[in-house]
Amino acid sequence: MTTAVMHERQALPLHLSGRVPELDGIRGIAIGMVVLYHYFFLTLVRTPGSTWSYILSVGRLSWTGVDLFFVLSGFLIGGILIDARESSNYFKVFYVRRFFRILPLYAAWFCGVQLMLLAIRFGIAANSGWFLEDRLPSYPYAVFLQNFWMAAANNIGGPTSGGTWSLAIEEQFYLTLPMIIWFAGVKRRPFIIVTGIVLAPILRALCFTYFPPGDVAAHVLMPCRADALLFGVLGAILLRDEQWRSKLQANPWFLRLLLIILIAGAGILTIYVRVWGKFFMWTIGLTWMAALYLCFLLCAVTQQESKLSACLRWKWLTGLGTIAYGVYLIHWYVRAFLYQVMWSIDSKQIATAGQFVASLAAIPLTVLLCRLSYVYFERPLLRVGHRLKYE
């Protein structure tokens, strides 16, 4: 999941200014998709071919909420960098703000993980075997290089730390995109971005072909997932081009028609992804989903009078989007804690009504904890970062 996308002041050349609530709403949808997938669609025990199994299959692609994060992150960060391109302190402000947005909360999470490992080692939390499942070394996590270890081991590192591969991708993206925006001219940027989008599914195909089984490498390495991030940057470029912006705003039917086509394709992927196999999903399928999410985003920010934009401005949804970074980091831990407290269960599966109730209870508890973290820890640090202005 993304980190830039979690909180940033958004500057767009439309009639939008300051913070854009629709983008917070999209962020809320993205984190909701990820949590629902982890809490229910991934873990509910079901009998193949049963009615319950068919109902749950509707959420088969909800894990691509991470790709929605990537598209939104590319859109926000790409736009910020393009707008600040002529600033004399371009790199300094960008990286100082990224530091205060990402590292303090991530450092708190990392330290908490290490304390938990010590507690297990000394027998204080002996019943928390789930915490050690497929565990990778700790040191790559400290420097956002865990995705390379995951690719080498063909293992995402277990449920509690596995999701941080997306944060590693984002950090590596932040090291490359500012250079591209800085050195590439206005006319060359779209060509570079489109080239990266085209290359990403090819790289994923190469991972499957030459590094079998290859699915983890295709899943967690930054160049392999760059299409979603670069689709977002492409959206930021389009909205900063007066001609393209006018066309999109004057012809809302085009984006709506394209959105319907892309949603239909996502429906087909949901039905047949298991028949077609991982190779198809991890090559063409992921690029299709990223294109869908970009179209969804463009519809939201260019048609603010639409019902879609009105829904994205719901307070509970924008509030969820505001705390999405914290929710992404700790939601697995909160559910596991409730499993231990309520049922003394060392499992990530849902096989009983009690486990289902524990999973439901974990949602408001996670939101509460992350809201407190945002108000009293993250937001004060964000204000420190934003004291430094682009000149």
- Residue ranges covered by each domain of the chain: 4-385
Residue-wise pLDDT tens digits, 142-154: 999 999 999 998 8
Cα dihedral 317/321/322/323 (nearest 10): 110
Q: What is the DSSP string of 132-169?
A: GTTPPPSHHHHTT-HHHHHHHHT----TTTGGGHHHHH
Handedness of CA 229, 370, 64, 347 (dihedral sign): positive
Let me know if 363 is exposed, middle or buried by CB neighbors in 10 A (0-12, 13-18, 19+). middle
Handedness of CA 76, 249, 64, 286 (dihedral sign): negative
Residue-wise pLDDT tens digits, 19-44: 789 999 999 999 999 999 999 888 88
Q: Residue 109 carries which side chain, given as an amino acid letter?
A: W
Tell me the pLDDT band of 2, cut-offs 50, 70 and 90.
Answer: low
Q: What is the DSSP letter of 352?
A: S
Tell me the pLDDT band of 346, cut-offs 50, 70 and 90.
Answer: low
350 phi and psi angles, rounded to 5 deg = -110, 105
CB 366 within 8 A of CB 34: no
Q: What is the DSSP letter of 350?
A: B
With residues binned 3-state (H G I as helix, E B as strand, rest as coil), the percentages for the chain, rounded to 5, are 75, 0, 25
Looking at residue 57, what is its pLDDT?
A: 82
CB 377 within 8 A of CB 101: no
Number of H helices, E strands in the chain: 19, 0
CB 34 within 8 A of CB 328: yes
| % of the chain exceeding 90 in pLDDT | 65
pLDDT above 80 for 5: no
